[in-house]
Structure formats: C-alpha cells, structure tokens
Amino acid sequence: GQSLEQPSEVTAVEGAIVQINCTYQTSGFYGLSWYQQHDGGAPTFLSYNALDGLEETGRFSSFLSRSDSYGYLLLQELQMKDSASYFCAVGSGNTGKLIFGQGTTLQVKP
Amino acid sequence: DTEVTQTPKHLVMGMTNKKSLKCEQHMGHRAMYWYKQKAKKPPELMFVYSYEKLSINESVPSRFSPECPNSSLLNLHLHALQPEDSALYLCASSPRLGAGELFFGEGSRLTVL
C-alpha cells in the first residue's frame, strides 16, 4: 500500500520561510508532487521531483531524498495569499495512481 | 489552452435521480482522472483513463459509472446516489499515465438529498 505523512497545520508570518515535510511509503515510487489548494478552489500543481535534489520555481522549492523516502516544500518570502492547503502526492509504478497526503494547512499571519 | 473544464459547477440531486458530470480538456493529454474530495480531506482517486481505456477503478461503487467518449472528454454518470456521496468531484488530466503533474478542473460540487 501507500502512505504519506505531513504536518496538519503550519503557521508563519508574512515574509518568513516555511518548510512542509512529507514522508512516504510506497512501492514502485516514481515521483513526489506538491499541490496547493485554496478554500473552495481546485488543487493547483506546484512542483514535481522524480530525482533526488532540489527543484526551484520562483518562491517555491521542493526537495526529494529517495533513500530517506522524504521530501519537503519550501516557501520563501511568504505572502498572505500563500494561506492554503498544501498536499504532497506520490505516484507509484506505471499505474497512474497519484495518491495524496492528508494535507497541511498553512496560515500566513501579518 | 491549459484548462480542464467541468460542468456543472454545482449539482443537487435526489437519491433516485440520474445525472452526469462532464469534463473536457484540449491539451492533448492522454490520461484523465476522477477524484472525489470531502471537506478538509485530500482528493481521493476514483478512476483513471489512459488512451480512452479504463486503467484504474479504485473499487468505486457501481452507482458511479465513468465514460470516456474520446480523448478530450470524460463523463461520470451518477445513479441512485446516497447522501454520503455529497462531495466535490474533481476531474484532472495529464500528458500520460504516470506523469507527476495533474491539471485539475474547478470541480463539480454535488449535493445528494
């Protein structure tokens, strides 16, 4: 089976940096994705790591360590609009299954 | 065009009704997905289509019936639903099966009375 763990809630202030961790267990792992979802909205893709290391996209970066079954999403220069739920998701094998973690609610305070 | 379009945005139905949710994408993606999401929960995979063929059915009750008429369209037919089926139904697409990036539609919010 597959399982993912991420913190349920994180709070930070505007302008700060926050890291959301994700640990996973899956067979045939092929990648770790991150999605953002605002209340009432649809999930929006943020980043994808298939190989170890850091991927940077603007204020957001994502890291993967396959040997540790661990990844994180790093959000820099936090803005109020970053308040949302963040989901890590793992894909396994070639089945097309992308399974989501329980989500981390990020609250950005002034 | 990088959108996945879902209709209707909102649907209210009785337990004896038959209705359908529709999803369309024009990005040339060959994999399409249905997810179900309850409030404060993650999206839960229901069905995956690859090249218009059903690839995954996550043991979804038969009152949900998916259909992929062509590479751009995905339907979810609903019949004899239960109140606990009330949720946000999300359609997504990706270039191929196994791609890490899914493009989601805005969802259809379903209420079953």
* Three-state secondary structure call for residue B71: coil
pLDDT at A22: 98
Chain A interface test: which of B55, B101, B103, B109 (most A C-beta within 10 Å): B101
- With a cut of 90, say whether residue A93 has pLDDT above it: no
pLDDT at B1: 59
CB of A41 within 8 Å of a chain B CB? The answer is yes
Residues of chain A with C-beta less than 8 angstroms from the C-beta of B33? 96, 98
Distance of alpha carbon A53 from alpha carbon B42, whole angstroms: 26
pLDDT at A109: 97
* Three-state secondary structure call for residue A82: helix
pLDDT at A29: 83
- With a cut of 70, say whether residue A94 has pLDDT above it: no
Distance of alpha carbon A13 from alpha carbon A103, whole angstroms: 20
With an 8 Å Cβ cutoff, are B42 and A102 in contact? yes
pLDDT at A12: 97
CB of B101 within 8 Å of a chain A CB? The answer is yes
- How confident is the model over B52-100, as pLDDT tens digits? 999 999 999 999 999 999 999 999 999 999 999 999 999 999 998 888 8
Tell me which residue of B90, B68, B47, B23 sits closest to A44, measured CA to CA. B90
CB of A5 within 8 Å of a chain B CB? The answer is no
Residues of chain B with C-beta less than 8 angstroms from the C-beta of A32? 100
- How confident is the model over A96-106, as pLDDT tens digits? 788 899 999 99
Distance of alpha carbon B82 from alpha carbon B29, whole angstroms: 32
Residues of chain A with C-beta less than 8 angstroms from the C-beta of B106? 41-42
Amino acid sitting at position A77: E
Which residue in B45, B90, B101 is closest to A97 by CB distance?
Answer: B45
Distance of alpha carbon A32 from alpha carbon A91, whole angstroms: 7
CB of B55 within 8 Å of a chain A CB? The answer is yes
